[in-house]
Structure 1
Amino acid sequence: MVDPDQQRARYVTNSDGAPPLPPPGGYRGARRTPDPAAVAAQNAVATLEAPKQPANAIGWVALVSGILFAVILLGTFLAGGTDTIYGVTMLALQLLIVGLAVWALVTRRGRALGAVALSIALLFNTATVGAMGAVQTSASGSYGGAKSEEQKHEEAYPGIKGTSSTDVLAQPSLEEVRESSEAALDDIKKRLSAEFGYTWSPAGDEDLRPERNGYGGESMLVQYTSAKWGTNEPIQDYDRKLEVMGVIDEVLTEHDMWGIISLNDATSGLDESMREKLYGSADPRTQDTWEWYSDDYPGPRRFYATIFDTSHDESGEFTASREAQAARTGEPVEGLQIMFLAPELLSEGDRAEFEQKLEEYPGY
């Protein structure tokens, strides 16, 4: 009987009983697992030995075309040619650039350059650059791209379409209107302070706004709005309001103005619904706003006297709006406000230039 331990030791320490060695060259049809290190080395050698393929012509054409198109777009934008950017030619060029980039993408050797060209086309296109140009044109007001020379000439007209330049030169200047308006305001304040004890606070600064010339440009004339003044004390009694307007009427007459008239009662010609909408009520006794008017026609001066009265404001909306206005401007919430307005004025300093420019517009 064979000892098991001895039999096990024989297989471990000797070759007795082990499977025979394979024949030289291995068994026929046997699979061989290649050495991973050897495979990696072979691949590396193959990669180093394989020459790099340069990009094809279509890839370079797409890239150069995309760059040139971006340069053209940016140049047109900087030149202010918004209309040109949105023209048919630019749109056709953009489609051509995109087509070249896509064509390059489908080729193996032009794929990288095609991707770059497509990125440029997507970044610099007529939509984005055109929008930038439109914003710039809107901000600067330069819409000259689609205008004829005649239109540009009319835009520079120094006067106002439909207004005689002779009348403009014959009427008081900006400086004269400013002086007469400020004098009238000072006299009104003095008379009302003397008779009723009112004190005053600024309710708005002087403002000069350029007038449009009717041809798409700005004229050399301006609209003058005087400094606005308001009483610090409220005026809520109906009879007192009439007395205040009577004093103002007397002062305006002394300054060559027509008699002051009410815009908030039935004599104004406004129907009840409109008076309720504008002044809070159709009845002057319960209105939250009084507005009276005078002018020196045919002169340019227009005078406005407005009384704000929150004592009739049941909803609180009018009071809230007046408080918000006072917070913005610093003016009193209630009381009387007085001001002058005069349109289409020419400054004395601009008179010579105005007359010189008019020589370029015979018949206007």
Structure 2
Amino acid sequence: MVDPEQQRARYVTHSDGAPPVPPPGGYRGARRTPDPAALATENAVATLDAPKQPADALGWIALVSGILFAVVLLGAVASGGTDIVYGVTMLAVQLLVVAVVIAALLTPRGRALGAAALTITLLFNVATVGALGAVQTSASGNYEGAKSEEQKHEEAYPGIKDTPSADILSRPSLEQVRESSEAAMADIKERLSAEFGYTWSPAGDEDLRPERNGYGGESMLVQYTSQKWGTNEPIQDHDRKLAVMDVIDDVLAEHDMWGIISLNDASSGLDATMREKLYGSADPRTQDVWEWYSDDYPGPRRFYATIYDTSQDDSGEFRRSREAQAARTGEPVEGLQIMFLAPELLSEADRAEFEQRLEEYPGS
């Protein structure tokens, strides 16, 4: 019997029982595994020896076309011609450039330059550059490129469309309206302080807003809003509110204005739903806002008296809004506020220039 250990040792330490050694040169038809290092060297040499193929003319044409088209678009936007970018001609040129780029991508020797041209076209095209121009135009307010000379001339009109210049020149000037308004305001404050002991605080500064001329530009006229004044004391009693308005009515009559009227009751012509929406209630006795109005028609002055009464605010929302307003402007939270407003006024300092510029607009 053969000892297993001896049999195992024979195969490990001797050649007995091992497969025969291949003949010199190996077996016929045997498959050999190539040396990786040698294979890499052969490939590298083959690559170096292969001549580089230059890009064809179509690739260069695509690249140059993409660059030139981008330059033209950016130049149009920089010069304010946003409307040109969206024109039919520019769209047709862009389609031609895209066609050339696609053709270059389909050729092996033009593919690299075609890819570069495609990148440029994707970044700078009618959509992207046009959007950039629109944003720039909107931010700057410069729409000159889209206007004819006639439109620009109309835009510079110093008056108001469909308002005869003679009517403008015959109105009281800004300075006259300011003087008469301030005088009436002073008398109203004095009378109410004398009768009811009210004290006053500013509720808003004077404001002059340029008036539009109806042709897309600004006229030489302004809308005047006087300084606002408000009582430091609340006015909550219904009868007291009516008494305050009676005093204001008397003073306005002394300053050549029509009788003051209520905007917050049924006599205003507003239905109950609208009054509730504007003034907190359809009933003046439970409203948190009273608003009364007067003017000196056909003159330009308009007068507003408003009473804010937070005691009528059941939800607390109105009080919070008034407190937020007071925090912004420094005005009293509640009480009476008075102000004047007058539109389309010409300053005395601008009268000569206004008449001179009107000479460019015969028949106005």
The TM-score with structure 1 as length reference comes to: 0.90
CA 1:36 to 1:295, structure 2 compared with 1: closer, same or farther past 3 Å? Answer: same
Q: What residue is the counterpart of 1:228 in the other structure?
A: 228
> What is the letter of the counterpart of residue 193 of structure 2?
S
Q: For residue 233 of structure 1, what is the amino acid of its counterpart? A: E
Name the counterpart of 2:109: 109
SS of equivalent residue, structure 2 residue 168: helix
Which stretch of the first structure deviates more once superposed, 143-152 or 245-254?
143-152
Contact 2:91/2:126 (CA < 8 Å) preserved in 1? yes
Residue 86 of structure 1 is matched in structure 2 by 86
Q: Is residue 206–residue 228 contact of structure 1 (8 Å, CA) maintained in 2?
A: yes
Matched letter for residue 36 of structure 1? P
Give 2:23's aligned residue: 22
Within 2, Cα distance between the matches of 1:211 and 1:139?
A: 21
Q: Counterpart in 1 of 2:206?
A: 206
Kindly indicate whether the alpha-carbon contact (under 8 Å) linking 1:11 and 1:18 is maintained by their aligned counterparts in 2: no
Show structure 1 runs of 5+ residues with no match: none
Secondary structure of the corresponding residue to residue 55 of structure 1 = coil
Distance between the aligned counterparts of 1:182 and 1:148, measured in 2? 44
Q: Deviations over 1:109-145 (max 9, x none)?
A: 1111111111111111111211122222223333343
Which residue number in structure 1 is paired with residue 297 of structure 2? 297
Asked if structure 1 preserves the Cα contact closer than 8 Å seen for 2:230 and 2:337, the reply is yes
Structure 1 SS opposite 2:209: strand
Shift of the 21–214 alpha-carbon distance from structure 1 to 2, 3 Å rule, reads: closer
**Aligned twin of 2:99:** 99
Over the residues paired in the alignment, what is the CA RMSD in angstroms?
Answer: 2.8
Deviation of 1:172 after TM superposition, in Å, equals 1.7
What is the CA-CA distance between 1:301 and the residue it aligns to? 1.0
Post-superposition offset of 1:262: 1.8
1:218-248 CA deviation, whole Å, 9 max, x = no partner?
1111111111111111101112112211222
**What is the aligned partner in structure 1 of residue 145 from structure 2?**
145
CA distance in 2 between counterparts of 1:14 and 1:309 reads 117
Report the more deviating stretch, 293-302 or 186-195: 186-195
User: 2:39 corresponds to which residue?
Assistant: 39
* Residues 208 and 225 in structure 2, CA contact (< 8 A), matched pair in contact too: yes
Identity of aligned residues (%): 80
> Cα deviations across residues 20-60 of structure 1 (Å, max 9, x unaligned)?
6634x554323333322222222222222222211111111
Q: Which amino acid aligns with 1:217?
A: G
Distance in 1, matches of 2:211 and 2:12, equals 116
Unaligned runs of 5+ in 2: none
Asked if 1:48 is matched to 2:54, the reply is no
Matched, 1:63 2:63: yes
* Contact 2:81–2:146 (8 Å) recurs in 1: no
Is contact 1:206-1:225 (8 Å) kept?
yes
**Bigger shift: residues 63-72 or 162-171:** 162-171
Give 1:18 deviation, angstroms: 8.7
Instruction: Provide the rounded CA distance (Å) in 2 between the counterparts of 1:117 and 1:77.
Output: 21
User: Secondary structure, in 3 states, of the residue corresponding to 2:109?
Assistant: coil
**Where does 1:259-338 land on structure 2 (aligned, <5 Å)?**
259-338=259-338
CA distance in 2, matches of 1:92, 1:137: 24
SS in structure 1 at match of 2:108: coil
User: 1:251: which partner in 2?
Assistant: 251
Distance 2:19 2:302 in 1: 126
Q: CA deviation at 1:336?
A: 0.2
Q: State the alpha-carbon separation in 2 of the partners of residues 36 and 314 from structure 1.
A: 91
The question of whether the paired residues in 1 share the 8 Å contact of 2:221 and 2:346 is answered with yes
For 2:103 and 2:193, locate their aligned partners in 1 and report how far apart those are by CA, in whole Å.
85
Paired with 1:241 and 1:253, the residues of 2 have a C-alpha distance of 19
Deviation at 1:168, TM superposition (A): 1.1
Q: TM-score, normalised by structure 2?
A: 0.90
Q: Specify whether residues 10 and 137 from structure 1 end up closer, same or farther in structure 2 by C-alpha distance, changes over 3 A only.
A: closer
Greater Cα offset, 352-361 or 102-111? 102-111
Letter in 1 for 2:187: D
Q: For the structure 1 residues 18 and 157, does the alpha-carbon distance in structure 2 shift closer, same or farther, using more than 3 Å as the test?
A: closer
How far apart, CA to CA, are the structure 1 residues paired with 2:255 and 2:278? 29
Q: Is 2:158 the counterpart of 1:158?
A: yes
CA contact (8 A) 1:206 1:226 kept: yes
Deviation at 1:295, TM superposition (A): 1.4
